[in-house]
Structure 1
């Protein structure tokens, strides 16, 4: 396993985060996969107040395995569709969601806390003040933003710096080799070229969700297969099919699969990155480990992303 650090978190953080969006219960397949993750050195879990029941399942398993002190838990709150309708990025929603997340997880703190959505009409000041209250209370070790633009994160961090507060120490947008044509879900943000340039400049860690573009590089999709309406709407484009062709070509040269190349692309950015993965079996997790250990050159990354027409051989 490879690791990174995030200010405020007192443990190394595995660069493969285990997502819990599909973790509805712990039966033998899920148990084997989670145990394989821990045995491989994985120690970081991504969950959210909005993922119905997932926090409880994760918390119960960690307690059963006596792993709490050895792992990093990231949960998220203030999602628009969680509880009351409409935007909920405000101090009251943050306070409520965090308290309930801690209770569901059965812990007295989370290592990382991210706002699950943004509401650009709300000033960053009260948001940063509220998050810092929970940092001071020891309920959170590091704060971040999921699906916030770089400009809003910058505003939040400038507000914090001007007042001696702690700013966002990580961001969690979508980042993948396949570039979405629009929002995959309402209110989500994907890291475009300008965002990646900003992360390169600031070196703010990026935790990529949907790092493998929903399986776009798995070989299960093609331009003429259009049954999956969401995939067609979000990822079917000429540029993405060219990225797919290049991933297949490079995979053949390296003796791996295209989806492993796509995951390696996310991990070989010029700024700190983690990938949030959702394997359903130890075999799928093994594939992600192999992808993490692939070596890509800067030239290969740029060629995959259509920034170069040819690679020197």
Structure 2
């Protein structure tokens, strides 16, 4: 396992992080979820990411149980807020940041998180109010640092230019070989301002594992066949060109001595501004496989060839 510095913070995180979005929020049985967390810790994963909205608190509750008794300084815990927990509990107001952070800490069974993230930008709350509330959360000791997910770059810039408020150290965008939008503006701006990326969906919801073949039904037990986890893969039949490109990358992954999933994760980690790639695991064995991307040494020419295969498919999609 390799470790990277998280932005302008004193946090060092494993470059493979364990997420809990579709898995530990109800998609995976609790005992299996806890087994995955335990295995991740055993293998050296230190960054664990969640959010209050995942299962309306269910994922945080499972993680709280899984981490009970684990030395607190041995892992980096990150959670988020923004999406509606009730009809009225939503957004990034001062009141919500105070209320939702306290609720998350209670479910997680800790007195602080290491990273508190704004899950989306809130256009209904003045940005200065949000930043002042996040600053108060840092000063209270309930979070060590703050970050954001999927914010427009102009709002990231506005927040970083504010005086007297806590500075963001992390950005959490979707980023993978089939979703490269952060490269346009977010990654360059963050790299210049001490903000690291913690990437979600680095395997494109499993598309980049190669398990989905063009013209074939999704394999039994895959995420695409799951009622609780497959709603982001409903358009697989419309992405034939992408699926074909993924299959065409198989020889490149083999040349690198990696599986397709490991190759795709290593591609994400090639970006210096990426501190960690978040994986989702429904079985401990998936963690064992994916962490092999952490210290993979891949010839950059193989990545260039993979990008050349994928780009026409993305343009056609």
Shorter-chain TM-score category?
A: 0.7 to 0.9
TM-superposed CA distance for 1:200, in Å, is: 4.2
Gaps of 5+ in 2: 219-223, 225-230, 312-317
Distance in 2 (CA, whole Å) between partners of 1:56 and 1:16 is 22
* CA separation of 1:225 and 1:179: change in aligned 2, threshold 3 A: farther
Q: Which residue of 2 aligns with 1:219?
A: 210
TM-superposed CA distance for 1:270, in Å, is: 3.2
Deviations 1:108-133 (A, max 9, x none): 11100001121235432111111001
Q: Which residue of 2 aligns with 1:300?
A: 302
> How many equivalent residue pairs?
294
From 102, 105, 123, the equivalent of 2:105 is 102
TM-superposed CA distance for 1:96, in Å, is: 1.3
From 38, 42, 61, the equivalent of 1:39 is 42
Q: What TM-score, normalized to structure 2?
A: 0.82
* CA separation of 1:18 and 1:106: change in aligned 2, threshold 3 A: same
TM-superposed CA distance for 1:192, in Å, is: 4.5
* CA separation of 1:308 and 1:46: change in aligned 2, threshold 3 A: closer
TM-superposed CA distance for 1:221, in Å, is: 1.8
Q: Which residue of 2 aligns with 1:262?
A: 264
Contact 1:55 1:104 in 2 (8 A): yes
Q: What aligned pairs does 1:230-241 form with structure 2 within 5 A after superposition? A: 230-231=232-233, 233=235, 236-237=238-239, 240-241=242-243
Distance in 2 (CA, whole Å) between partners of 1:197 and 1:234 is 31
Q: Which residue of 2 aligns with 1:74?
A: 78
Q: Which residue of 1 aligns with 2:285?
A: 283
From 49, 54, 64, the equivalent of 1:59 is 64
Q: Which residue of 2 aligns with 1:116?
A: 119
TM-superposed CA distance for 1:235, in Å, is: 9.5
Residue 74 of structure 1 aligns to a residue in which SS? Answer: strand
Higher relative contact order (CA 8 A, sep 6+): 2
Distance in 2 (CA, whole Å) between partners of 1:285 and 1:214 is 15
TM-superposed CA distance for 1:304, in Å, is: 2.6
